[in-house]
Homo-oligomer: A and B are copies of this chain.
Amino acid sequence: MRILLIGAGGVGDALAKIAARRDFFDHLVVADYDLTRAQRTVAAIADRHGDTVAARFTAARIDASDADAVAALAREHRATHVMNAVEPAFVPTVFAGALAAGADYLDMAMSLSTPHPTDPHTQTGVMLGEQQFAAHDEWVTAGRLALVGMGVEPGLSDVFARYACDELFDTVDELGTRDGANLVVRDENGDEMFAPSFSIWTTIEECLNPPVVWERDRGWFTTPPFSEPETFVFPEGIGPVECVNVEHEEVLLMPRWLDARRVTFKYGLGAEFIGVLQTLHTLGLDATEPIRVRSADGPVSVSPRDVVAAALPDPATIGPVMTGKTCAGMWVTGTKDGAAREVYLYHVSDNEWTMREYGTQCVVWQTALGPVIALELLATGAWSGVGVLGPEAFEASPFLELMARPESEGGYGQPWGMREGPG
């Protein structure tokens, strides 16, 4: 297996570092628009693991908005797998570039949605991932696999959903991804500061788009942003967090392979963060269309959302000043043996541990874990397929077993939890 990793931001960097401890691949090219970022990732691997391990890694420059450039770089390095770790705006070009180069493809976020033109808070427009699912036949014909939405959420959440459907329930009522954290970032004076732990670009996209919900009788439909607030109690000391509906891939993936009455995604944003996102929207600072702005070099065109991202601390750099845990998980209700059942399947990532073990903050580290495990399952043949498939199209047990098995026994040493009954 030869992997072309596109993107050396927080998640791409963590992904390379997790892969550096594994033997299942022959070579991994870390490519970024900013070559120095890619080089920094490879240098960090050399520092920690020595030159022999680092010899399996190469840094390269790539413009992810150019499908031909992606294909050319994939061919140049004879990549068997293109691993997409850039923002979802670049999904179409990386996805097309991989297919053109005859490589398999994985991503952690899917092609973006476009709201319904007249009724955005009730009806779907172009749906998340729709562009990719439309290419399913093309990928089947080429005999290639596009494993889409294979991060933590979507990704591990979908694996949990498949596991619940296969092993824990006879009938499923709701498949509800629930994500929450108790992370705090402090400045040099010890004061709490505003520093999102994940790409603000993607967070704005997720949270300000109309949330999508799926119901068996109704299909996909949308609601206004921040709808149906609920307090969900997260495990391992995180406790109660206010969660709201957010547009997310799980809702588009799960109904294609799993049988449930309702599929939802709720994100534990908290009141302060919701307020910030609403203000950005009110001011038009969430916009991605470039606007003209004066500068010392004369007028320039920039996207306001890119400016917001550039003004905030890079999520990849806040690990050392952050404390707390993040929890990704799948809350499932339904029946087993004729009785009602409620289960929360989850994985908790502790920032102190990820910083010590990988020099990476916990949210991006947790996102990067799933795709490495998936790549390993594809390398060993435990998982295989062709076409555009979500994580729930594959058997869940091999994934969860490899993830939980101790490192000393060849696993990833990442146990997951299961809570029975209400939290």
Residues of A that sit less than 8 Å from B by CB: 33, 194, 275-276, 279-280, 282-285, 287, 290-297, 300-304, 306-308, 310-312
Contact = CB atoms under 8 A, between A and B. Distances in A.
Contact of A304 (B284, B287, B307): B307
A312 B283 contact: yes
A307 B300 CA distance: 10
Nearest to A33: B294
B302 A307 contact: yes
By CB atoms of chain B within 10 A, which of A279, A306, A312 has the most? A279
A285 B282 contact: no
A296 B306 CA distance: 11
B276 A293 contact: no
B306 A294 contact: yes
Q: Which 7 A-B pairs have the closest CB atoms?
A: A300-B300, A284-B311, A279-B279, A293-B310, A307-B307, A194-B282, A304-B311
A180 B290 CA distance: 34
A297 B295 contact: no
A203 to B, nearest CB: 13
19 contacts: A33-B294, A194-B282, A275-B275, A276-B279, A276-B283, A279-B279, A283-B308, A284-B311, A285-B308, A292-B310, A293-B306, A293-B310, A294-B306, A295-B300, A295-B301, A295-B303, A300-B300, A302-B302, A307-B307
A139 to B, nearest CB: 30
B296 A297 contact: no
Given A279-B276, A283-B194, A311-B283, A295 B304 contact: no
B293 A302 contact: yes
By CB atoms of chain B within 10 A, which of A276, A285, A292, A301 has the most? A285
Contact of A295 (B276, B280, B290, B308): B290
A37 to B, nearest CB: 12
A295 to B, nearest CB: 5
A303 B301 CA distance: 13
Nearest to A304: B311
Contacts of A291: 307, 310-311
A7 to B, nearest CB: 13
A422 B224 CA distance: 45
A311 B285 contact: yes
Nearest to A303: B295
Contacts of A275: 275, 279
A311 B287 contact: yes
A215 to B, nearest CB: 30
B284 A312 contact: yes
A301 B296 contact: yes
Nearest to A281: B194
A381 to B, nearest CB: 40
Contacts of A279: 275-276, 279-280
Contact of A290 (B276, B292, B296): B296
A94 B300 CA distance: 25
A256 to B, nearest CB: 34
A194 B281 CA distance: 10
A339 B295 CA distance: 57
Contacts of A302: 293-295, 300, 302, 307
